[in-house]
Structure 1
C-alpha cells in the first residue's frame, strides 16, 4: 500500500511541476507579445531631394525617435510620395 501512495504522490508532484512550467511559459510569452508597437499621429509625404536627416531636422526630431516611429524605413531608398511618420509614440 505504501508503494501505491508513493507512486501517486510522485505522479501528483510531476503533474504539479509540469502545470507550473506551462503556466510560467504562457505568462512569459504574453509578456513578450505585450510590447507596444509605434503609433503614428502625423505623416508627411517624401518630396524630391528629401532625406531622413533632412526630415528630422525640418520637424525637430531626433534620429532615434524618427527610427522608432518608422521602424521599417530604409533611409537609403526613400522615394517621392512615400509616407513617413513625424509625430507619434514609440
Structure 2
C-alpha cells in the first residue's frame, strides 16, 4: 500500500512541475509578443504603381525599417488603398 502511495505522490509531483513549467512558458511568450509589437505614427495609402521600395525611399526609410514597422507585409501583393506605416518604431 505504501508503494502505491509513493508512486502516486511522485506522479502528482511530476504533473505539478510540468504544469508550472507550462504556465511560466506561456506567460513569458505573451510578454515577449507584447514588447515586440511595432508602433505606427504615420501611414500612407497605396496608389497605382507604388512599390514597397519606392514608398520606403520617399519616406526616408531603409527597407529594413520599413519592413519592421509593417510586419507580415507582402510587397508582391500590394493593393490600391492599402494603408502602410511610414513612421514609427519597430
Q: The TM-score by the shorter chain falls in which range?
A: 0.7 to 0.9
The equivalent position to 1:20 in structure 2, one of 14, 17, 21, is: 17
Structure 1 CA distance for aligned equivalents of residues 79 and 7 of structure 2 = 65
Structure 1 CA distance for aligned equivalents of residues 3 and 77 of structure 2 = 68
After TM superposition, the structure 1 = structure 2 runs for residues 51-70 of structure 1, keeping only pairs within 5 Å, are 51-70=51-70
TM-score, structure 1 as length reference: 0.77
Query: Which residue pairs with 1:39 in the alignment?
Result: 39
Task: Report SS of the residue matched to 1:40.
Answer: strand
| Greater Rg over alpha carbons, structure | 1
Aligned residues: 87
Query: Which residue pairs with 1:5 in the alignment?
Result: 2
Task: Report SS of the residue matched to 2:80.
Answer: coil
Runs of 4+ with deviation above 3 angstroms: none
| Residue ranges of structure 1 left out of the alignment (5+ in a row) | none
Structure 1 CA distance for aligned equivalents of residues 72 and 44 of structure 2 = 16
